[in-house]
Structure 1
Amino acid sequence: MGTVVLAGAGKMGGAMLSGWLAQGLDARRVMVIEPHPSDEIRVLAGAGVRLNPSPKDIGDVAALVVALKPQAFREAGPALKPFAGPATLVVSIMAGMTIASVAEVCGGNVVRAMPNTPAAIGRGITVAVGANNVGSAQRATADALLRAIGSVEWVEDESLMDAVTAVSGSGPAYVFLLAEELARAGVAAGLPEELATKLARETLAGSGELLHRSDLSAATLRQNVTSPGGTTAAALEVLMGADGLQLLMTRAVAAATRRSKELAK
């Protein structure tokens, strides 16, 4: 792989950079564009990653990875154009930004991708879609860059990306909210706050790992915990009622999908 330019080294961009280096990408082949680098990024710069280089000092760029916030891209995007030639692979991980929007600003052959925050520990899930001019070799390069932070799924229909953003891109926040509210409910039921918080965190973390390792469906795992007429069944009767979790989650994902589409305008 040739030179990789990373535009934006916040939480997600930084996680990708750490993943690339951990998997053996030569730090000297990585260029980072970040006006406000964190201490961690400065340390990596001291280890060979080049920070805020001039386009004329880079030469040929194999891939430009854009990890900016969509709002920042509208202002800073044109400054990225010198880094991308007509055939440069451009990987965008910006929520709501379409392939056409990114190509208009940066040029190049665009792959639109949506990772999520478990990327920080190498357990993210990313969905990607490529423009028609992205060939098999560039798709393989994009796949390798994205796999540094977790698993990757590819789709052929870009219109699916708004729903992807709503389910997996925003999804970790839903899980964290569940941990918050489960702990709060435990306190309301009489548990000390510290114990309720630990029980909620460990229960969600352990259940997530069980779901990850098991070949069983989420529904089957749920049923395995639920004894007829027992305590779990009593709770699920509330959560699965007419105004329960199914309706709330459907509405939440629909709201996030709508917002993803709005960001593209």
Structure 2
Amino acid sequence: MMSQAWWRASLPRIVLSPSFVLVLIFVYGFIAYSGWLSLTDSKMLPSHEFVGLANFEKLFRLRHWNTAIVNLAIFGSLYIGICTILGLALAIFLDQKIRGESVIRPIMLYPMALSFIVTGTAWKWFLDPGIGVEQIVQSWGFTDFQFRWIKDRDMAIYTVVIAGVWQSSGFVMAMFLAGLRGIDGEILKAAQIDGASSLKLYRRVVIPMLRPIFLSAFVVLAHMAIKSYDLVIALTNGGPGRATELPATFMYSYTFTRNQMGIGAASAVIMLMTIASVIVPYLYSELRSKPEDKV
């Protein structure tokens, strides 16, 4: 009896232990190793010559890194803001029980099923002046029409925003739609009986009740913005010049192309710290016990 009870209690741990060990080694182990490399004089190959924070000092003196940070600020703020506003608007629209919702919803969610590589490649063709929207509109007779953002240093980063919003706004819409469908209808009826217009109903009742969804959407989108690599590589390859350089592309180029592994590892640590600064407070707020939950 004792051995059977022990076996039942230990079986889940035994089954999960290989996965736990693999995650511990190949995720957290390599994170720790990258942190160590950022403190060493590693070039083309790893080195164990300790240099302290010298790589971080070099990193923040590099013009390319500062460009990547500025581009991330532009891309991240527009990407998160537009996805949130567009996703909320689409969710409110679909929540009106319109006809064809069962068709519109999968269409809006379809881009999320694609990889960023596919999205970047498709939008690269669509935005290319020679074969994309500019050439199509000109073939219709509008010969003066130009849309060359993807070739313009000042506007190229906004093409990354367009592609990212196209892919992710449907996912945000699904999050908000689930939140809207979870609101108690009695609360809405009570507000309508009190004379609240549709605008006030959403502004003062519905949207405040969606605050957890806003937070979840922000965390997901911020994480995706920070680690955006494949979208940029497929769409612009960081160009023209370095106009669409992001920290993720900077890290790859300095680690594997420029043979500056220490600086590349330092940039990876900065990215990890940025993601952690977004996710850790969110997890803390979600997991901490509230007094009312204990009743």
- Higher share of residues assigned helix: 2
Greater relative contact order structure (CA < 8 Å, 6+ sep)? 2
Name the TM-score class by shorter chain: under 0.3
TM norm structure 2: 0.24
Larger radius of gyration: 2
TM norm structure 1: 0.26
